[in-house]
Each structure stands twice: as structure tokens, then as C-alpha cells.
């Protein structure tokens, strides 16, 4: 659902405008009607939503706020889901029913949703690569809004492996591309993760994109 070339273009995103163009391309390729990026804030028991950017003619923030206030099941999904989901409403028909929700979390920005309306009728598990792309894109976008952290410099091979990983390549595929063993690739990626204090490959790549190391 997301071409590998889109992953390779992530380091070139420098502004919110670039991010919106990237999201529009993804929507067009996957027959989504548009997109909306919202922050989710929980103040005691009150939920609120703030629009970051949207290509929707509808107001998803207002509709979502009304829904979570009247539908406990939808509220639980919005607050607790970490994987892509569709709303399971208790009989409340809204224009959000056909949308795919992608939860995004990136250090200081907690509680953010990318909503893609008018989705194709695919199993929700088919949206894994789209979710991965959205996480990387959000990490890149977040990096534009906060100071860059200092990390132990990465070796050229570590950066090379991270670039290919960001493009969706497996360790085996990266090994064939750069001419080393799969174990060596895993060693490079593990070393990069340790230097960046990341817990897995996805987080390592997200940190590297956020810091502009893959550009």
C-alpha cells in the first residue's frame, strides 16, 4: 500500500507543506478520500482534539469529540489503541465509520491520530505498512518542531543500513544490496539502536529520521 520510494523520500520532508503533499500522494494511491491529523488531549476525564492539518471538507475533530463523549466503546479505542483500527460504534452512524485510524506516538507528542476516510474494504491488518510509513512521517514532522538531540555519531555502514531499512528492506535484502552477511547487517542495526537509545528497529529508524541522519 506504500511504495518503497515513499519511504526513501522521507528525509526530504522539511516543512508541514511537504508532509501534506506526501500524505496526499498516499491517499491518492490508496483511494482514501483525504486525511486529517489531530492531537488527542486528556485532561482528567475530558477528551479534546486539536487539528494539526487536514484535507477534509468535514470537521473530524468535532465529530470525533461528539462520538467519544457519547460512545464508551469508541472512547476506549481512541485512548487505548496502538495499532490501526476502525471505530466500533454502538449504533452511532457517522462519516468516520469507514475511516482508518492510525495512532501515532513520538516522544513529546503524545496522543496523535492520523485519520484516513473513505478507505477500501481491506482487513485492518493490511494497513501495517501504511501505519509504519505514518509513524516515520510523523517522526520527521515532529523533528521540525523541536531541537535536535545529541547522539553518538553513527558509522557510515550503520546509516546505510538504516536508510535501506527505512525503505522497507529486510536484513536479508540489505545484506544482498551492500554485500555483507545478514548477521553483519543485524549487528550494524543493533549498534545504531544502542547509540540512539532505541528499543527496536522501527524506533531506531524513526529517531534517525527525526534527527535528519538519513538525509
pLDDT tier, 180 (very low <50, low <70, confident <90, very high otherwise):
very high
With residues binned 3-state (H G I as helix, E B as strand, rest as coil), the percentages for the chain, rounded to 5, are: 50, 15, 35
Render pLDDT for 5-17 as a digit per residue (tens, 0 to 9).
Answer: 888 888 888 888 8
Spacing of C-alpha 196 from chain mean position:
19
Answer whether 0.85 is exceeded by the pTM.
Answer: no
Sign of the alpha-carbon torsion through 144, 149, 153, 158: negative
- pLDDT at position 9: 86
Q: Which domains does the chain have, with CATH numbers?
A: 4-143 (3.30.450.40), 156-210 (1.10.10.10)
Sign of the alpha-carbon torsion through 90, 95, 101, 107: negative
pLDDT tier, 108 (very low <50, low <70, confident <90, very high otherwise):
very low
Q: How far apart are CA 33 and CA 204, in angstroms?
A: 32
Render pLDDT for 130-169 as a digit per residue (tens, 0 to 9).
Answer: 888 998 888 887 766 665 556 688 999 999 999 999 888 9
- Which ranges of the chain would DSSP assign to H, the alpha helix? 4-8, 16-29, 60-70, 72-80, 128-143, 156-166, 171-178, 182-195, 201-210
Range 26-53 average pLDDT:
83
Amino acid at each position: 500500500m506504500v511504495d518503497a520510494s515513499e519511504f526513501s523520500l522521507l528525509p526530504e520532508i522539511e516543512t508541514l507543506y511537504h508532509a501534506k503533499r506526501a500524505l496526499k500522494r498516499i491517499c491518492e494511491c490508496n483511494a482514501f478520500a483525504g486525511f486529517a491529523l489531530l492531537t488527542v488531549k486528556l485532561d482528567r476525564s475530558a477528551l479534546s482534539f486539536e487539528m494539526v492539518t487536514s484535507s477534509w471538507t468535514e470537521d473530524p475533530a468535532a465529530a470525533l469529540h461528539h462520538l467519544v463523549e457519547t460512545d464508551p466503546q469508541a472512547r476506549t479505542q481512541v485512548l487505548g489503541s496502538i495499532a490501526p483500527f476502525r471505530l466500533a460504534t454502538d449504533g452511532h452512524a457517522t462519516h468516520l465509520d469507514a475511516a482508518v485510524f492510525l495512532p501515532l506516538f513520538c516522544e513529546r507528542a503524545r496522543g496523535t491520530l492520523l485519520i484516513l476516510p473513505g478507505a477500501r474494504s481491506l482487513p485492518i491488518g493490511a494497513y501495517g505498512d501504511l501505519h509504519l510509513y505514518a509513524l516515520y512521517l510523523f517522526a520527521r514532522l515532529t523533528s521540525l518542531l523541536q531541537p535536535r538531540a545529541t547522539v553518538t555519531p553513527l558509522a557510515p555502514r550503520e546509516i546505510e543500513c538504516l536508510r535501506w531499512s527505512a525503505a522497507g528492506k529486510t536484513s536479508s535484502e540489505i545484506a544482498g544490496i551492500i554485500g555483507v552477511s545478514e548477521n553483519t547487517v543485524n549487528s550494524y542495526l543493533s549498534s545504531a539502536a544502542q547509540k540512539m537509545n532505541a528499543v527496536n528497529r522501527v524506533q531506531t529508524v524513526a529517531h534517525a529520521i527525526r534527527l535528519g541522519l538519513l538525509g
